[in-house]
Amino acid sequence: MFLYRLKHRGPDWIGIFQHKGNYLAHQRLAIVDLTSGDQPLFNEDKTIAVVANGEIYNHEELRKKLPNHTFSTNSDCEVIAHLYEEYGENFVDMLDGIFSFVLYDTRDNHFLVARDAIGITSLYIGWGEDASVWVSSEYKTMHEDCEHFERFQPGTLYSSRERGFRRWYNPVWFSEMIPTTPYDPMVLRNALEKAVVKRLMTDVPFGVLLSGGLDSSLVASITSRYLAETKAGKQLGTTIHSFCIGLEGSPDLKAGREVADYLGTVHHEFHFTPQDGIDAIEDVIYHIESYELTTVRSSIPTYLISRKIKSHGIKMVLSGEGSDEIFGGYLYFHKAPNKEELHQESCRKIKALHQYDCLRANKATSAWGLEARFPYLDKEFVSVVMGIDPDNKLSGQKRRIEKWILRNAFDDKERPYLPQHILWRQKEQMSDGVGYNWIDALKAHAASHVTDTMMLNAARTYPLHTPPTKEAYLYRMIFEKIFPKQPARLTIPWEPTVACCTPKALSWFPEWSNNMDPSGRAAWGIHNSANTKLVSSDIVEPNKVEPQNGAATTNGATNGH
């Protein structure tokens, strides 16, 4: 019965494997190898079984390293079983992709669990009273059967032989050491193009989320430029469907439409009302398994648009998550006092992505059987960006717009990727970009359901993660009705934030200490000083193009799509 709680994630196939009281079960969303890729997947003699969620982008290259192995499917995930057979547990770092998997070796009843580098796919592990071990993409399958469950950390594997966890992903940036590599715009451009192109591995129609902000617009532009050269383009054609959601008259709708016209995509706009969003709150909390304020706010539009996208026959979308974290793109980064603190804050933000944006984007899309892929969080691309001397990422001190090094890398006058005013459009939070009245409507709705007396007793009602506002209290009440166990609460991140900063970064602006709203609107004033001529004379690189006067704008939204 528990498996059906994940049917929304994989409506195309149910697969179950049983051996000596151990079970592997899988709900499949078929994107690669539609005819033979049903799971579980096996090695040649079926002594090793695998269930996996995600995509292994370099599976064809990995197959070439296994000439003595016979593959029975064209599934990208089958390579996991054969790599284990060849290399033992030390193969996970060879995988380039997004994944959570459980591998079971019937020869000694050993199992191995691993999660991708950043935590793009969701994964939890739990333990029952009977010493059973449970692993699932969502904890709704285990919260009734496990005494304890917890997040499975990104970049980590669990070995039943060792009965413990260890990190398999240990990049240089993880130590937060300050990098010194000079900024080269062409290296950056080529790395992002490669990251986008590898994510065009699909046997089904796909789309792009297009808010009209920098991140999603660049992904869409690169896709349109290179799709015809890919296997997917040759099989499925070069028509690109783009999608955007917002309240009537929202910044995202206007900018998304303009970029779509420029790129020639088949564009789909979805208008929602505040009441549409309010009506979806309970379903969203059920699917994302969180009551964290910013996560719920931003998940609602993602959830609503995912339903519309799936109704168009689309199973996969490209999205722009992760750019703000690796480039220091949130508006509060303008206040970074020096390059060291900027880099360390970026490292902290990347490490926490699996609790926030990745969780939202994965679960809110999976609620409708839709897969989201994030080129900015490509393992190789993250290493390139996080290896650049962070002095180049400083914005406030250099009077530059945020993410200057990304914008500059794609400012090609001969073959423009985007219109200038889109390329240099200001960053804004996703929940604000879909419409400025959206957050106000959520607050008003919460105020009509949560009384002042309830807030006075909030610390006694909810001693763990006490809700500081009526909106947070409302989300917590809904969550407790669905997931009443303590382990569920312990999976939720809970720390003070304004404009998405970490607690350490709050020290950059003491005036925010009493601000209770994490919305990016708290940082609007920060950007004003950057909307002047962009400074570029302190960076010298070949073929550098300087942005034109007035290129930066004061309104708009880059929403992580």
Do residues 166 and 177 share a domain? no
From residue 228, give the alpha-carbon distance in Å to each of 65, 205, 349: 28, 14, 35
Residue 546 to residue 544: CA distance in whole angstroms:
7
Determine the distance from the C-alpha atom of residue 40 to the mean position of all C-alpha atoms in its chain, rounded to a whole number: 26
Detail the residues annotated as belonging to a binding site for ATP: 209, 245, 319-320
Residue 143 to residue 141: CA distance in whole angstroms:
6
Do residues 159 and 237 share a domain? no
Asked whether residue 346 is assigned to any structural domain, the reply reads yes
Asked whether residue 550 is assigned to any structural domain, the reply reads no
The domain tally of the chain equals 2
CATH value at residue 456: 3.40.50.620
Asked whether residue 540 is assigned to any structural domain, the reply reads no
Residue 558 has pLDDT above 60, yes or no: no
Asked whether residue 505 is assigned to any structural domain, the reply reads no
CATH value at residue 94: 3.60.20.10
Per-residue pLDDT, averaged over 500-509, amounts to 87
Q: How confident is the model over 227-242, as pLDDT tens digits?
A: 999 999 999 999 999 9
Do residues 148 and 278 share a domain? no
- State which of 110, 136, 170 marks the end of a domain: 170
- State which of 170, 198, 218 marks the end of a domain: 170
Query: Pairing state of beta strands 41-42 and 48-56?
Result: antiparallel
Do residues 233 and 162 share a domain? no
- State which of 149, 170, 191 marks the end of a domain: 170
Asked whether residue 541 is assigned to any structural domain, the reply reads no
Per-residue pLDDT, averaged over 31-48, amounts to 92
Q: How confident is the model over 142-192, as pLDDT tens digits?
A: 999 999 999 999 999 999 999 999 999 999 999 999 999 999 999 999 999
Q: Which one-letter DSSP state was computed for residue 508?
A: G
Of 241, 556, 559, nearest to 419 by C-alpha is 556
Detail the residues annotated as belonging to a binding site for L-glutamine: 76
Do residues 97 and 183 share a domain? no
Do residues 198 and 87 share a domain? no
Do residues 210 and 123 share a domain? no
Do residues 250 and 187 share a domain? yes
Q: How confident is the model over 462-471, as pLDDT tens digits?
A: 999 999 999 9
Residue 433, domain extent: 173-473
The secondary element (H helix, E strand) that includes residue 104 is strand 97-105
Q: How confident is the model over 269-314, as pLDDT tens digits?
A: 999 999 999 999 999 999 999 999 999 999 999 999 999 999 999 9
Detail the residues annotated as belonging to a binding site: 76, 209, 245, 319-320
Do residues 183 and 223 share a domain? yes
Return mean pLDDT, the chain: 90
Do residues 422 and 312 share a domain? yes
Do residues 452 and 390 share a domain? yes
- Bond prior to 11 in cis (omega within 30° of 0): no
Per-residue pLDDT, averaged over 492-505, amounts to 86
Q: How confident is the model over 385-432, as pLDDT tens digits?
A: 999 999 999 987 778 899 999 999 999 999 999 999 999 987 655 555
One-letter amino acid at 504 equals: K
Q: pLDDT tier at 524 (50, 70, 90 boundaries)?
A: low
Kindly report the pTM of this predicted structure. 0.91
Do residues 158 and 224 share a domain? no
